Structure 1
Amino acid sequence: MGWFTFLLRDFARPFLPFKFRGERVCGFNFDGQPHRKATGRNRFLDSNGAVYKCELGRLAHELVRDSRGSLLRRLECIYDEILIDEVQDLSSHDWEIVDVLLASAIDIRMVGDIRQSVLATNPRSSKNKRYAYAEAVKWFREREARGVVTISENATTWRCHPQIAEFSDTIFDSSWSFPTTRSVNSTVTGHDGVFLLRREHVDKYVSRFRPQCLRDSANSGKSFDLDYMNFRLAKGMTCERVLIVPTSGITSFVRSGAHLEPIAAAKFYVAVTRAAQSVAIIVDDPGNSSLPYWEPD
């Protein structure tokens, strides 16, 4: 089940009366928000009794306390083990809930790639902001230091060509202490690795290689008439080749090695690692980059 379904089914629906007597969950309000000064019941539920998505994590966490142990005991009776995939997308009060689960009798296993932290369950909340997006790695390392979790790193990619894997490792600087990626992709196509591409050659490149064209947002790449997909939406995809229209930050990174902010780095990392065989980045001036240019025959 999805994370929101889990919180609705096993936290909000059974235990809402412990917090608001006589109330029950009558739906899920995905887009709405409570009035900024709303309190009590109106903080969490709209006029129809639907739980606001942006407040579901907080409600679920408070119900752990308000149920005086009943919620947690029920979870322990239902589940021997809980597996959380894409754990890097959790945010805000979700981290409090995971702490509760880790302290329970349930075995908790979590899987994720911190370098792909481009989505968040509650991006507007200030709760646990220090663990937002790629900064979530701090949450895990703090708890590993306390003996609460054990981190097992898998640094093998079956998707990306070795040169793509090597380049992707440079996107986050060494202070993040991410492991070196090992590629087991041995496919050879004659156009493999990471390349720079001048604007004048974009049309010929697209015609020859048919890459998936990626951009940061709708405001990027307006000077090219290409079939784009935004970085965030490409998450989870595998493409043989990608063509990236860079932001100014990505261009600076390519030209000088100036590292990106965590969210921008994660989005660029997602874009680069969609490719199995080749990545092309549109940059006219290479600066200090050692990446080769692709040029038409």
Structure 2
Amino acid sequence: MDKRVIFAVAGSGKTTHLIDELDLERRVLLITYTENNFAHLRFRVLQKFGYLPPNIVVCTYFKFLHNFCYRPLLQMRLGSRGMNFHLPPAQTARFALTQDARYLDGRRRLYHNRLAKLLEVKGCLPAILARMERYFDRVFVDEVQDFGGHDFNLLAALCRANTDVLFVGDFFQHTFDTSRDGSVNRTLHDDFGAYAQRFAAQGITVDRQSLRASRRCSTTVCDFIREHLQIDMHAHEARNSDLSVVEQAPLAKELYRDPVIVKLFYSSHTRYGCFSHNWGASKGMDHFRDVCVVLGPDAWARLQSGDLQRLAPQTRNKLYVACSRARENLYFVREHDLREFRN
């Protein structure tokens, strides 16, 4: 069985690679994290085949976890009533791993960040592996960088199934975890080398080459990301574009008023009343030609001093997501110069 993880860069064709792997013969389970990416993958399957083939199942991770793994094995025993996507109260951590109260709230809803652990504690993993082997020949997981906590451990365990397994993700687009539970895998995303080794230790082939070149971003943007964010990103073909640090407030305001150029803010983009998104939330968006990234005081100062790579890891990753949305030109402006438009 082929088991591998492909580490990609932004715009390198992760979705295209997954869709190209699909055919009408092999039974495939395609798991992703976000609802947006689920809708996009489902659309791409429809686009390729003209319909949803019965041998291809596309679903979100928590639907897979609850409907495929949990319900057939534990639903009747525990009598749960759906899932709770809020973090459990702190006092629930004092319950023993074998106590149901650790995993269920007062309305008998399952805590999302402990469901994978519940399946392990209840001894369900062999049955889950058997179900996977019965129904699927191949298992694909997109956005693998966003899996953390007990969910990452479950993914590693699922690799023992007698099926092909393909993980695809961009480590540096890790902007949130599927779930956290205390110290479980707290340092998972602290270091790329150590992260890759976690896969290799499971006997999974680590591929850093297949999707290392961006088809979306120009050489100019890739060079900026590589130099200033210390993320090894290259362009698929030599192509230059404009990259401008806009220091004049009137020019920044012109960009703000441009209805075609998207403005990407660190947070609270809706307060500015323009064509905009937040840095992290723009992940997966692939249709922007020119992008204007709005920087707060700290990020602006670090841009001026060439020190952006020292931003907090989550902030740097979100900035990488924002910069890599640009198909052509990339502009940087100070948030201070747009304050008059904030409501």
Q: TM-score range by the shorter chain?
A: 0.7 to 0.9
**CA separation of 1:62 and 1:10: change in aligned 2, threshold 3 A:** farther
- How many angstroms does 1:124 deviate by? 5.9
* SS of structure 2 residue aligned to 1:275: coil
Find the counterpart in structure 2 of residue 5 from structure 1: 63
Q: Does 1:231 align with 2:279?
A: yes
Q: Does 1:202 align with 2:261?
A: no
Q: Pairwise CA RMSD of aligned residues?
A: 2.9
Q: Does 1:148 align with 2:201?
A: no
Once the two structures are superposed, the pairs formed by residues 84-233 of structure 1 within 5 Å of their partners are 84-123=141-180, 125-132=182-189, 135=191, 138-144=194-200, 147-153=203-209, 154-173=211-230, 179-184=232-237, 186=239, 192-198=241-247, 199-207=249-257, 210-218=260-268, 226-233=274-281
Q: Does 1:55 align with 2:105?
A: no
Structure 1 contact 221–245 (Cα < 8 Å) conserved: no
Q: Does 1:244 align with 2:293?
A: yes
- Calculate percent identity across the aligned residue pairs: 22
Match of 1:83 among 140, 145, 149: 140
Q: Does 1:277 align with 2:333?
A: no
Q: Which has the higher contact order (CA 8 A, sep 6+)?
A: 2
| Gap regions ≥5 residues in structure 2 | 1-58, 336-343
* SS of structure 1 residue aligned to 2:153: helix
Distance, in Å, in 2 between the alignment partners of 1:181 and 1:264 is 21
* SS of structure 2 residue aligned to 1:150: strand
Deviations 1:6-62 (CA, angstroms, capped at 9, x unpaired): 111222212227xxx832332122236346236311221223332122222322333
Distance, in Å, in 2 between the alignment partners of 1:55 and 1:278 is 43
Distance, in Å, in 1 between the alignment partners of 2:125 and 2:316 is 42
Find the counterpart in structure 2 of residue 26 from structure 1: 81
- How many angstroms does 1:123 deviate by? 4.5
**CA separation of 1:204 and 1:15: change in aligned 2, threshold 3 A:** same
- How many angstroms does 1:216 deviate by? 0.6
Following TM superposition, where does structure 1 have runs of at least 4 consecutive aligned residues deviating by more than 6 angstroms?
A: none
Q: How many residues align?
A: 268
**CA separation of 1:60 and 1:208: change in aligned 2, threshold 3 A:** same
**CA separation of 1:281 and 1:27: change in aligned 2, threshold 3 A:** same
Match of 2:105 among 46, 55, 65: 46
Letter in 2 for 1:274: R
* SS of structure 2 residue aligned to 1:170: helix
| Gap regions ≥5 residues in structure 1 | 285-297
Distance, in Å, in 2 between the alignment partners of 1:84 and 1:110 is 5
